[in-house]
Amino acid sequence: MSDEEDIEVEVPQLAEDDPMRAFLPQSFGKKEKQADVAAQIGRTKRTVASPEKSKDEQQKIKQAPASNDSRSNDEDDSDDSDDSDQSDDDEFPVSHELVLKTHERAVTTTSLDPSGSRLVTGSTDCTLKLHDFASMTPTTLRAFKSVDPNASKTSANSETHPINHVEFNPLSGGTFLCVSAHPQAKVMNRDGEVLAEFVKGDMYLRDMNNTKGHISEVTTGTWNPVDRNICVTAGTDSTLRIWDVNFRRSQKEVIVHKSRVAGSAGRTRMTAVAWGSPLQGGNNVLVAAALDGSLVMWSGDGPYSRPAAEIREAHKPDTWTGGIDISSDGRMVITRGGDDLIKLWDTRKFKTPVVTVSHPSTSDHYPVTNIKYSPTSSSIITGSASGHLHILNPGNLKPELVTPVTPGSPLITVQWHPKLNQIVTGSANAEVHVLYNPNTSVRGAVDVMSRAPKKRHVDDDPNFTTDQSAGMAGDEVAPGGVPNSFAARHPTIGLTASGRSRDPRRPQVPMVTPFMKSQPDEAHINENIPLSSMRDEDPREALLKYAELAEKEPLFTNAWKETQPKTQYAELSDDEEEEGPDKKKLKR
């Protein structure tokens, strides 16, 4: 056979409709997982009903002539409206959303690190949930760690408290401030480990200037915008305390706010605090709100003995002003009070509000509801009791966009990240929504939805295990009948891979072995356990067995056995025995 001749290989010919084609390989080699990014992002698109046109607009449309020119004009108008709608969607990143359901109760606070890779959420279920966008896929939207910041590793009965506020350090990003309903705030690292816990003050001291820390609950806190080691906390003991994270045994500065409301004895609760950044040419100011309705401003660099400006009735007294923020240029202050009002203040004329608008408050049930400026201070965002996200104009506080996020459930916390261009919200139904726009947003939720879904494992579903009581291959079963292998893949459920409880307050459950399931019989105990028969013997009879031996061969008095004198007792007559001993004569 010459080399020029072609070699023909016989291949079985199958019809196109032959069912055997389904079992033949289509390609060789390892197949790569590819994700349909457009389809995955399309599934996260928010379906928001378009606002109905007003009656005047509908009447104008009816009165328009039905000519060709008018039709072309209408088409041009419709194109312009479509372009405007598209521009609105691109201006605000709210076209798509990513929903995280990792908490059990209302989400009160959220915080993203400066790079936007890690998300920390706090809730009234007294836990922190740590999420990493780099490790999540469209099918694994869960937290990689759950932390109770108030749980003690040494005490099993440690108290737990709701989380009021968490905030990443804007300069370093390696730590975040954790404020719970407790007198001691904490500084934690990115993995949820406590690095510093500020000291608690002496509650029996009257003068708050002499205490080294808060004596009652801390409501909120924030970081210094120019010094990564400085932070401030606000407490219900009528003080603001400035801390250096390297010296947690005592605060660096203490600011005592003296209330002028009658009957308050000079004390009130500090409800909100914000620290203005001077990086864009503004002033370094520290602004705080109190329960007595006052709004107080100090210089951010000190001294703090007297406030630079104070407004006594900025909001209605005895209403919780939980939302406060300062614009990026440090000139405007926005506050949201419990009196159903949002007010805009100018730090240069800090006497009367520039603009006041009505906005229903949620402070009755969720006093930590906040209000925030956008990264460029071109908008103001806040939530509402109806579950809507309100994007307001920073000049006149008129709504530029109102979109439902969790309809029927109050929207408590909002945050607009500058690098990701994404809005993170927390609601009372324990949901965290990450709003984004695939055209203008980067990383974060966009990267999550661009990954291929994770291949599910058989142990991910506990219904597929062979034995619900013991798990697969004798794995330990977590509370609720969930095997340990399932708990290792789901950090919010059950035990760790080593068998320890993820809840530090819960003691370790010993592993159940086949030898622990059966009770040994009595013969086995008597033969293998020394002195086990003494459990069923009378102790008096056991001692009397050795009475004769102790008398003949004493163990402890054998050295003076021959020289030991005999005990002699006095002989008493019968009369004396009957009458008894002589009684003492009474002294006259």
| Structural domain contains residue 115 | yes
Domain range holding 250?
92-449
pLDDT at 511 exceeding the cut of 70 = no
* Residue 372, both tokens: 């925030």
Same domain assignment for residues 361 and 500? no
Q: What is the pLDDT of residue 428?
A: 94
Q: What is the largest CA-CA distance in the chain?
A: 153
CA 564 to the chain's CA centroid:
80
Mean predicted confidence (pLDDT) in 148-166:
76
Nearest Cα to Cα of residue 251 among 235, 273, 268? 235
| Structural domain contains residue 161 | yes
| Structural domain contains residue 263 | yes
Query: Greater confidence, 514 or 257?
Result: 257
| Structural domain contains residue 557 | no
Number of domains making up the chain: 2
Same domain assignment for residues 501 and 425? no
Same domain assignment for residues 444 and 481? no
- How would residue 33 be classed by pLDDT, with cut points 50, 70 and 90? low
Same domain assignment for residues 432 and 482? no
Where is 147: in which H helix or E strand? Answer: strand 145-147
pLDDT at 397 exceeding the cut of 60 = yes
Q: What is the pLDDT of residue 546?
A: 83
Query: Greater confidence, 536 or 463?
Result: 536
For residue 219, CA distances in Å to 95, 103, 182, 214, 296 come to 34, 21, 8, 11, 16
| Structural domain contains residue 152 | yes
The mean pLDDT value of the chain amounts to 79
| Structural domain contains residue 57 | no
Adjacent-strand bridge partners of 390:
382, 402
Mean predicted confidence (pLDDT) in 465-480:
42
The DSSP annotation for 496-558 comes to -TTS-BSSTTSPPPPPP-GGGSS---HHHHHHHSTTGGGGGS-HHHHHHTTHHHHHHS-SSSG
| Structural domain contains residue 49 | no
Helix/strand/coil (H/E/C) assignment for every residue in 78-102: HHHHHHHHHHHHHHCCCCEEEEECC
Same domain assignment for residues 384 and 480? no
Same domain assignment for residues 285 and 310? yes
Same domain assignment for residues 498 and 393? no
Instruction: Find the CATH number of the domain harbouring 104.
Output: 2.130.10.10
Q: What is the pLDDT of residue 260?
A: 82
Same domain assignment for residues 472 and 381? no
Angle at 54 between CA 51 and CA 56, to 5 degrees: 160
Q: What is the pLDDT of residue 265?
A: 75
Torsion sign, CA atoms 9, 15, 17, 19: negative
Mean predicted confidence (pLDDT) in 196-222:
92
Same domain assignment for residues 364 and 491? no
pLDDT tens track for 332-368: 999 999 999 999 999 888 889 999 999 988 877 888 8
Question: What share of the chain has pLDDT > 70, as a percent?
Answer: 71
For residue 378, CA distances in Å to 91, 373, 575 come to 11, 8, 116
Contact 249, 288 (CB under 8 A): no
Query: Greater confidence, 172 or 454?
Result: 172
Last residue of a domain, one of 508, 540, 575: 508
pLDDT at 381 exceeding the cut of 90 = yes
- 3-state class of 414 per DSSP? strand
Same domain assignment for residues 371 and 262? yes
Please state, as a whole number, how many other Cβ atoms lie within 10 Å of the Cβ of residue 278: 15
Q: How far apart are CA 580 and CA 569, in angstroms?
A: 16
Last residue of a domain, one of 399, 414, 449: 449
In this structure, of 130-134, 420-424, 491-495, the range with the lowest mean pLDDT score is 491-495
Residue matched to tokens 């229903």: 360
The reported pTM is 0.69
| Structural domain contains residue 217 | yes
pLDDT tens track for 102-148: 999 999 999 999 999 999 999 999 999 999 999 999 988 999 999 99
Query: Greater confidence, 168 or 453?
Result: 168
Last residue of a domain, one of 449, 475, 492: 449
